[in-house]
Amino acid sequence: MYKKIDFRVRPPYGHYLSAIENDQAHFARLADAFDMTVSESQRTGNLEQFVREMDEAEIEISVVPGRKNSGVVGDEMFDLTSLYPGRFIIFPYIDPTDGEEALREIDRFRAVWNVPGVSVEPSFQPKPYRFDDPVAFPMYEKLQKEGLSLFISYSAKLLPIVDPDTVRQLGTVLHHFPDLKIIVGHGGWPWHLEVMAMAFNSPNIYIVPDMYGLTGAGSQDYVKSANTLMKHQMLFGTGYPILNIVDTARFYETCGIKEAVLPYFFYNNAAGLLGL
């Protein structure tokens, strides 16, 4: 019904496959919580089956951010772009605490692949850092100057200690780097209203609600914002393997987002951000 770009996927490949194989009980619990099923690819970790599920959900492209805590760093995920041309876009993981080496790593990736941005998880990596730690500023400056996006995973689930100050830290980054395109995975929940306020004031903030836009507390806030203030800044994402991509796609098709807005939510906003 609607072509889609899934902006938050960890496919069954490489180190992500290992994580999928070890998390079966977690998938079953989440499927029950969100009134979904566990897909065949979630159960088996079969990459070909995952791509078939992409086709069933009418997902043309899956965006894959790296994750240092899962061992997904370096070149590993770029193999997907050769295995399935045109179906995957990679945001490699960059750790700005590596200093100049982090900047060189960005240049190395860009010399070989089409890299629209990088992935970071400041609060969820072996050596955590604050979103607004000056150690990250050289990387933010480079991304802003070169027109690359910063994909930040941010929710209470990714905080070792639930700390609402992190949303202020994100605002500080935006203040210092107003032209930096920032994509907020996990929707910023439960501080999503504050993130939406930043997005209302800046066209460079994008939000991927993924699982938090489904049936939990605050989920309707994402729907209302997609229909109004953020119709050009909200992005579809499944968070796979957290969620079954077919069930998630069908949910968002009927969740209350206006028919006129759904093409922007599912595809157009992401395509513009990715330069497609």
Domain CATH for 33 = 3.20.20.140
Task: For residue 244, count CB atoms less than 10 angstroms from its CB and return exposed for 0-12, middle for 13-18, buried for 19 or more.
Answer: buried
Q: Are 14 and 275 in contact (CB under 8 A)?
A: no
CA–CA gap between residue 184 and residue 167 (Å, rounded): 11
> Which residue range forms the structural domain that includes residue 131?
4-274
Using the structure block, give the residue that is written with the tokens 């994509």: 183
Nearest to 96 by CA among 70, 67, 133, 71: 133
The whole-angstrom separation of Cα 2 and Cα 101 is 41
Q: Say if strands 181-185 and 205-208 run parallel, antiparallel, or are unpaired.
A: parallel
pLDDT recorded at residue 22: 84
Q: How confident is the model at residue 11 (pLDDT cuts 50, 70, 90)?
A: very high
| Model confidence band, residue 263 (pLDDT cutoffs 50, 70, 90) | very high
pLDDT of residue 159: 67
Rg over CA atoms, the chain: 17
What is the Cα–Cα distance from 8 to 231, expressed in whole angstroms?
18
The pLDDT mean for the chain works out to 93
pLDDT tens digits, 78-121: 999 999 999 999 999 999 999 999 999 999 999 999 999 999 99
The DSSP result for 132-180, as a single string, is T-GGGHHHHHHHHHHT-EEEEE-SGGG-SS--THHHHHHHHHHHH-TT-
Give the pLDDT of residue 12.
96
pLDDT for the residue numbered 185: 93
- Torsion angles phi and psi, residue 154, rounded to 5: -150, 115
Say if residue 168's pLDDT is above 70: yes
The rounded distance, in Å, linking the Cα atoms of 231 and 78 is: 31
60, 85 contact by CB (below 8 A)? no
Residue with tokens 């088996």: 44
What's the total number of domains in the chain?
1
Q: Taking 90 as the threshold, does the pLDDT of residue 135 lie above it?
A: yes
Q: What is the pLDDT of residue 157?
A: 76
pLDDT at 218: 87
The percentage of residues in the chain with a pLDDT greater than 90, rounded to a whole number, is 77
Q: What are 198-257's pLDDT values in tens digits?
A: 999 999 999 999 988 888 888 999 999 999 999 999 999 999 998 999 999 999 999 999
Least Cα distance to 248 among 196, 212, 205 occurs for 212
CA dist 118 and 169 (Å) reads 19
**What is the rounded CA–CA span in Å between residue 228 and residue 131?**
28
For 183-234, the DSSP string reads: EEEGGGTTSHHHHHHHHHH-TTEEEE-GGGGSSSTTHHHHHHHHHTTTTTTB
Counted residue by residue, the chain has a size of 276
